[in-house]
Amino acid sequence: MGTASSRSGFDPLGWYSAKLDSSPLITKGLTSAFVAGGGDVGCQWIVQRNKEGFVWEPARTGRFAFLGLCLIAPVSHHWYGFVMSKIPGSGALTIAKRVAFDQLFFAPLFIPTFVTSLKLLEGQSLSSAITQVKESFVSMYTSNLFLWVPAMAFNFAFTPAKYQVL
C-alpha cells in the first residue's frame, strides 16, 4: 500500500527535489524568501506577544523576503557549492573543516553584507549602515558562532548538499 501522495500521483517532496535539480537558484531563492519572510512574521509576533494585539509590519517582512530571494539564496548556493567542492567527504574531520572554513571566511563577510543591505532597504544611508555594522559586528559575529556552528555541523553531517541552502 502506498501513501496518500503516491496514490494521488502527486509527491510534493519529489516535486520539490526535482525543482532543486532543474532550477536550483530559482527554487532556493523562492524557498529562502518564504523562510526569511515567514521567520520575520514569527519574530514580529514573538516580540509583540505580550502587547495588546498583533500589528504586522508587511514592509519589514518584504525586506527580509527580498533579501532571502536576491541575496541569501544566490550567495549561499554558490558559497556552499564551492565549500563542498573544495572540502569533499563526509567524516567528522571534513565536517569540522567545512564549519571552520564557513565561519572564518564566509560569516565575517556575509554578516556585514546582510546587515548593510537590510539597513539600506530600511532607508538608512550607507555611512549610517556601515557605522552600525562596525559598532555591533563583534556581538553579531559572536551570536552567529553560538547559533551557526552547531547548526552548520548538523547541516553538513546530515543534510544532503542540494537541500543545505534553503
> Is 77 in contact with 70 (CB distance < 8 Å)?
no
Indicate the pLDDT class of residue 2, thresholds 50, 70 and 90.
very low
**Helices then strands (H, E): number in the chain?**
8, 0
Mean pLDDT of 109-133: 98
What per-residue confidence (pLDDT) applies to 7? 64
Distances (CA, A) of 43 to 31, 37, 48: 18, 10, 9
Mean pLDDT of 92-101: 98
pTM over 0.85: yes
String of DSSP letters for 6-66: HHHT--HHHHHHHHHHH-HHHHHHHHHHHHHHHHHHHHHHHHHTTSSS----HHHHHHHHH
Per-residue pLDDT at 5 exceeds 70: no
What per-residue confidence (pLDDT) applies to 6? 53
> Is 60 in contact with 40 (CB distance < 8 Å)?
yes
Per-residue pLDDT at 1 exceeds 50: no
**pLDDT averaged over every residue in the chain:** 93
Per-residue pLDDT at 89 exceeds 60: yes
Measured from the Cβ of residue 164, the count of other Cβ atoms closer than 10 Å reads 18
Per-residue pLDDT at 163 exceeds 80: yes
The Cα 116–Cα 79 span in angstroms is 19
Q: What is the pLDDT of residues 10-32, one digit of tens each?
A: 899 999 999 999 999 999 999 99
